[in-house]
Copies of this chain bind each other. A is one copy, B any other.
Amino acid sequence: MNRSATPVHSANVPVKDFLKTSYQTVRQFSHFLCEPLSREDYVVQSMPDASPTKWHLAHTSWFFETFVLSKEVPKYRSINPQFNYLFNSYYVQIGDRFSRPDRGLLSRPTVDEVYAYRRYVDEHMIDFVERSDESTLRRILPVMELGLNHEQQHQELILTDIKHMLSTNPLSPIYKNLAASTAPGRQVPLKWHSFVAGVRQIGHTGPGFAFDNESPRHKVYLQDFRIASRLVTNGEFVNFINDRAYSRQELWLSDGAKTVEEKGWGAPAYWHNIDGQWKIFTLHGLVDLDPNEPVCHVSYFEADAYARWAGARLPTESEWEVASEDSELKGHFAEEGIFHPRGMNEQSAAGINQMFGDVWEWTQSPYTAYPGFRPAEGAIGEYNGKFMCNQLILRGGSCATSSSHIRRTYRNFFPAEARWQFTGIRLAND
């Protein structure tokens, strides 16, 4: 199975071919991710931030139904009109929604019914694409690209939500065994790469797809800065822990110290100290900590405190984007099927490594609108804009992100205390 067909159209492919191929590839990748699951695994919601797998599968179908089929196919009838209520996530202009933290209460529709819903939507979508002429297809291309990128985002959430759910189970269930051939990482020294001050440009422009929050491309003034040649590793983070840093309040933001105390944090999420040895719960089960792997599942508070402890700081998103221009858009992504960050295996690149894939990199930049930002008209405009408050920008994608989904200008965002994404640390300095 070719899992990496990009959901973003490029000019030299016929639109119809592109739409059919990318639609089928992206939709099938959702099913591929669910193969290891038991029926019961699809149902559980282990925290309000997470959703049952079943819900992700249905919601991504609802998206195509609502924003394509209902608008473009006059005779289209939903398989069940109440699904519009159950599977709307947060589009208030579409109508009322089922309470988000209660998604785990819904035993019905069953998993089989959800797959039937997916097939029903898929058949109508393919049929609609088949029957449409070039001008229609060009018109709906943006919303199709959005829907496919949207499904890719939920594919990442399926993985992070399943990981969180399995982690609450004392049986430490394994999602999928790790291929025996996966090599461990090597220790690599951290170097600094310097950039000189000046007016630079960041943000998306040009013909390809991007989310609205990546635009418009605009000028920013950057001071001199330096950025680290690689991610912070587990081994380095153990040093931070061993230096009693979690209890040294002077290293933490005020809200961070409060969060550490309330939640009793003393290590990243999914770390377990068992008889003095660090173990990490992964999608391959509970494994020994590898000191050369990038540290993962840290909150912004922990990333910020680590940087302060290390005499550095986190990069701004502008700095990160400018620095990323020296790196190829390559890395360890979801298509590899490993779903865990990997240590560096060669000192290789004289350049900046691990910018893409492995872990999302916390920046110190709050999530705000770019100057001149305009969300789309109508419900689609709720996609990104209304969340621009009390969140931080993360960059670069993770081992749970599809490589075909990422861009240099891609802006992910989470609250400062979130740890359930594959989130890690890259240092910067003045």
Contact yes or no, B104 A44, CB < 8 A: yes
Among A86, A252, A389, the one with the most B-chain Cβ atoms within 10 Å of its Cβ is: A389
Supposing A219-B221, A250-B92 touch, asked if A107 and B38 sit within 8 A by C-beta, the answer is yes
How distant is A321 from chain B, measured CB to nearest CB, in Å? 15
Instruction: List chain B residues, Cβ under 8 A from A38.
Output: 107-108, 110
**Which parts of A38-61 form the interface with B (CB within 8 Å)?**
38-44, 46, 54
Instruction: List chain B residues, Cβ under 8 A from A107.
Output: 38, 40-41, 43-44, 165-166, 169, 173
Select from chain B the residue with minimum beta-carbon distance to A41: B107
Contact yes or no, A387 B102, CB < 8 A: no
Supposing A223-B372, A372-B223 touch, asked if A388 and B253 sit within 8 A by C-beta, the answer is yes
A427 within 8 A of B: no
Instruction: List chain B residues, Cβ under 8 A from A43.
Output: 40, 43-44, 107
A169 to B389, CA, bound (A): 32
Number of contacting residues on A, CB 8 A?
66
A256 within 8 A of B: yes
A40 to B250, CA, bound (A): 36
A93 within 8 A of B: yes
How distant is A55 from chain B, measured CB to nearest CB, in Å? 12
A218 to B219, CA, bound (A): 16
Among A106, A199, A365, the one with the most B-chain Cβ atoms within 10 Å of its Cβ is: A106
Select from chain B the residue with minimum beta-carbon distance to A254: B386
Supposing A104-B104, A219-B221 touch, asked if A254 and B40 sit within 8 A by C-beta, the answer is no
Instruction: List chain B residues, Cβ under 8 A from A257.
Output: 92, 386
Binary contact readout A271-302 vs B (1 if CB under 8 angstroms, 0 otherwise): 00000000000000000000000000000110
**Which parts of A126-168 form the interface with B (CB within 8 Å)?**
165-166, 168
Q: Known pairs A40-B108, A46-B105, A252-B386. 11 more at Cβ < 8 A?
A: A38-B107, A41-B107, A43-B44, A82-B170, A105-B165, A108-B173, A253-B386, A254-B386, A255-B389, A256-B389, A389-B416
Q: What are 19 A-to-B residue pairs whose CB atoms are below 8 Å?
A: A38-B107, A39-B40, A40-B108, A46-B105, A82-B170, A92-B250, A92-B257, A102-B168, A105-B168, A106-B168, A106-B169, A107-B165, A108-B171, A108-B173, A109-B171, A252-B386, A256-B389, A313-B369, A366-B368
